[in-house]
Amino acid sequence: MDLADNLNRIEQRIVAACARAGRERSSVTLVAVTKNQPAQVVRDAANLGLTLFGENRIQETKIKIGQCPGHFRWHMIGHLQSNKTRDAVHFFSMIESVDSLALAQEINKCADKTAKTMPILLEVNVAGESTKFGYRPDQLLAEFEQINALPKIEIHGLMTIAPYADDPEKARPHFRCLRELKTECEKILGVPLPHLSMGMSGDFEVAIEEGATMIRVGTALFGARPKPVAKNEDVE
C-alpha cells in the first residue's frame, strides 16, 4: 500500500469528476476516514497534507487525537449515543451523523455548556435500509424546523451512506434524492445549506457528479481496514 500513490489517484479521479460535472475542484472536500486505523496512518496522511479525518467512535478518536499532534479537524461520521455527546461536541469540529431530534437536543445542551456552536449534518437513510441509521426523508422534513430552532446547533447540510453495490451507478438515484431533499430543507430555511456529504471509496465520483461537497474515503486511501480493536470500548 502506497498512500501517496493512492492519494494521487484519488485526487485525479476527484478532478476528473469535477470536470465532468462542470464544478470547481475546490467545491469538494476530501474527508479521510481513519476509523479503525492506527494513529500512524493519520500521521502519514498528515505528512501528505491531509488535515480532515473521519472517525466513528468517541473513545478511539480521543486516544488518536492525543497521539496525533497538529491542527487537524475531525468529523464524527458514525452513530452517536446520547451519553457520548459531551465528548463528541468537545473533540469533533462537525457531527455528520445527527439522526434524531433527541440527539440534536442533547448536542445543543452540551454545546451550550461549553459556550460553543456545533456544526452538524443530518444523516438521511435515503434507501430506507433497516441496517442503517439515519432519518427517513419525511421524518427529516417534519423535524427540520425544530432542529434548526436549537440555538447552539448549526445545520450545514445533509449526509448519507448509499447502499453497498458493486456498480457505483446504483448509488446515483440515492445521491440525487439527498440533493433534492437538501433543496426541500432550503425552502423551509429560506437560505442555502452548504453541504452534501455523500460518496465513499466505491462511489465518490458519482457522488461528486450529483453534487457532493464532502466525500468520505477510507479504503481507497488506506487499504483494507483493520477490524475494530475492542468491540465494546464505547459501551459503558
What are the residues whose beta carbons fall under 8 Å from the beta carbon of 49, sequence distance 6 or more? Answer: none
Residue 216 near ligand PLP by CB under 6 A: yes
Cβ 139 to ligand PLP shortest distance, Å: 19
User: Which residue from 17, 76, 52 is spatially nearest to 211, judged by alpha carbons?
Assistant: 17
Which sign, positive or negative, has the C-alpha torsion 137, 124, 197, 75? positive
- Cell numbers 464505547 correspond to what residue? 234
**Exactly one of 35, 57, 75, 182 binds ligand PLP (CB under 6 A); which one?**
35
CA dist 233 and 85 (Å) reads 16
Residue 32 near ligand PLP by CB under 6 A: no
User: Which residue from 196, 232, 202 is spatially nearest to 214, judged by alpha carbons?
Assistant: 196
User: Which residue from 126, 43, 32 is spatially nearest to 77, judged by alpha carbons?
Assistant: 32
- How many binding residues for ligand PLP (CB under 6 A)? 14
Question: In terms of CB distance, is 137 or 218 closer to ligand PLP?
Answer: 218
Q: Taking CB under 6 A as the criterion, which residues in 107-166 touch ligand PLP?
A: 161
User: Which residue from 35, 129, 38, 113 is spatially nearest to 78, judged by alpha carbons?
Assistant: 35
Cβ 115 to ligand PLP shortest distance, Å: 29
SS3 18: helix
Question: In terms of CB distance, is 2 or 22 closer to ligand PLP?
Answer: 2
**Exactly one of 77, 104, 107, 196 binds ligand PLP (CB under 6 A); which one?**
77
| End-to-end alpha carbon distance in the chain | 36
**Residue 80 in grid coordinates:** 452517536
User: Which residue from 174, 177, 149 is spatially nearest to 162, judged by alpha carbons?
Assistant: 174
> CB nearest ligand PLP: which residue?
218
Residue 182 near ligand PLP by CB under 6 A: no
**Exactly one of 17, 33, 68, 140 binds ligand PLP (CB under 6 A); which one?**
33
Cβ 119 to ligand PLP shortest distance, Å: 17
**Exactly one of 56, 100, 125, 213 binds ligand PLP (CB under 6 A); which one?**
56
Question: In terms of CB distance, is 168 or 218 closer to ligand PLP?
Answer: 218
Of 17-25, 65-73, 84-92, 197-205, the window that binds ligand PLP (rule: CB under 6 A) is 197-205
- Cell numbers 440525487 correspond to what residue? 176
**Exactly one of 17, 95, 158, 217 binds ligand PLP (CB under 6 A); which one?**
217
Residues at the site binding ligand PLP, with contacts judged by CB under 6 A? 33, 35, 56, 77-78, 161, 200-202, 216-220
